[in-house]
């Protein structure tokens, strides 16, 4: 077992454990087809905001800026689904070689979200060291009908198998919205010999444990200290030497962190694990029973 805590025992009757206007530009890059899937390796680092700015300046000379990033990046908001006993959370903490999670994801300004807004329903899974992500683009109302209403929605024939898999997961495991995360991302993509490489910087990482409608006027709180930035290196086959040299020069340390798990732990839904990001910005000690701990409130940009 890789985590500090062991998953609670499953009782009888429980499942066995195993930007731009209307955000169209942000979605265009991520939806080359109605059903999109890819495999990749992911490596994460935790940086101070100032160091992240310096590293971004260096990377600007070596990679192309994601054309949807702009100077201010773009927002990403995700609602994660889990069982009552947080099965997907514990699979991550225990480091299972095969694990997955279900989420609804939106790119752009969440306050512009309506029932017609395109979002992604995604299954992200880990198979040994490879991350696999499969997703389908749906109007938000259909994504809610599928994941919350547990009903099949109108679809292209090519989407049916994936939608049936999502519906099976939701119904068989009795999944429900559990945590939400949001952050601002700056992204860079490889060119030439580095095609397939993607480097992202996520800052102002926030979350909440209720009011899960994407457009809800609800309070979000920092689940990662606002002075920190999560950098992710994503590659199809290999990370180029120049990038490993760059991270080594700055003595960056690889970390294991999940924004979903971070949100679960920040709100006291589960004990902090050895993968939790520490920080004085988060008061996570001894929250009152049944209440979320006092966290730094994140004012919306």
Local confidence pLDDT in tens for the 301 residues of the chain = 333 334 443 333 333 333 333 333 333 333 334 456 667 788 999 999 999 999 999 999 999 999 888 888 999 999 999 999 999 999 998 888 899 999 999 999 999 999 999 999 999 998 887 888 999 999 999 999 999 999 999 889 999 999 999 999 999 999 999 999 999 999 999 988 888 899 999 999 999 999 999 999 898 999 999 999 999 999 887 889 999 999 999 999 999 889 999 999 999 898 877 667 865 444 433 333 344 444 455 655 4
* C-alpha torsion 163→164→166→168, nearest 10: 170
pLDDT value for 40: 78
CATH number of the domain residue 49 falls in: 3.20.100.30
Domain that holds residue 130: 34-298
- Does the residue 27 lie in any domain? no
106 in a structural domain: yes
* Residue 140: closest CA among 278, 25, 27: 27
9 lies in some domain: no
Note the pLDDT of residue 7.
42
Which pLDDT score, from 0 to 100, does residue 51 have? 96
Radius of gyration of the chain (CA): 19
pLDDT score, position 22: 37
Backbone angles phi, psi at 215, to 5 degrees: -95, 5
Residue 87 lies in a domain: yes
Distance CA 116, CA 101 (A): 24
Task: Give Cβ neighbours of residue 93 (< 8 Å, ≥ 6 apart).
Answer: 2, 3, 4, 5, 7, 261, 273, 275
Is residue 3 domain-resident? no
pTM as predicted: 0.81
* 74 is a domain residue: yes
Give pLDDT, residue 296.
52
Report d(CA 247, CA 59) in Å as an integer: 11
Residue at 25 is within a domain: no
Please state, in angstroms and rounded to a whole number, the distance separating the CA atoms of residues 168 and 164.
Answer: 6
**How far is C-alpha 52 from the geometric centre of its chain's CA atoms?**
19
Report how many domains make up the chain.
1
Judge whether 129 lies within some domain.
yes
In the chain, the N- to C-terminal Cα span, in Å, equals 40
């Amino acid at each position: 077992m890789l985590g500090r805590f062991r998953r609670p025992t499953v009782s009888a009757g429980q499942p066995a454990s195993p930007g731009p206007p209307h955000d169209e530009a942000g979605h265009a890059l991520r939806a080359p087809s109605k059903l999109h899937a890819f495999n990749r390796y992911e490596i994460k680092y935790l940086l101070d905001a100032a160091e992240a700015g310096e590293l971004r300046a260096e990377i600007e000379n070596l990679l192309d800026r994601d054309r949807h990033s702009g100077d201010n990046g773009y927002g990403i908001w995700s609602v994660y689904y889990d069982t009552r006993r947080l099965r997907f959370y514990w699979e991550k903490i225990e480091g299972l070689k095969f694990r997955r999670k279900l989420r609804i994801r939106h790119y752009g300004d969440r306050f512009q979200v309506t029932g017609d807004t395109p979002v992604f329903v995604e299954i992200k899974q880990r198979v040994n060291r490879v991350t696999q992500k499969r997703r389908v683009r749906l109007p938000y109302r259909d994504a809610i009908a599928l994941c919350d209403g547990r009903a099949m929605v109108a679809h292209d024939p090519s989407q049916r198998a994936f939608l049936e898999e999502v519906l099976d997961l939701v119904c068989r495991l009795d999944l429900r919205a559990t945590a939400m995360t949001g952050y601002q991302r700056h992204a860079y993509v490889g060119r030439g010999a580095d095609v397939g490489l993607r480097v992202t910087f996520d800052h102002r990482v926030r979350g909440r444990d209720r009011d899960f409608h994407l457009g809800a006027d609800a309070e979000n709180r920092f689940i990662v200290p606002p002075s920190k930035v999560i950098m992710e290196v994503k590659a199809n086959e290999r990370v180029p030497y120049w990038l490993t040299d760059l991270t080594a020069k700055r003595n960056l340390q690889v970390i294991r962190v999940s924004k979903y798990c971070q949100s679960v732990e920040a709100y006291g839904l589960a004990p902090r694990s050895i993968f939790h990001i520490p920080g004085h910005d988060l008061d996570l000690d001894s929250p009152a029973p049944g209440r979320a701990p006092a966290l730094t409130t994140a004012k919306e940009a």
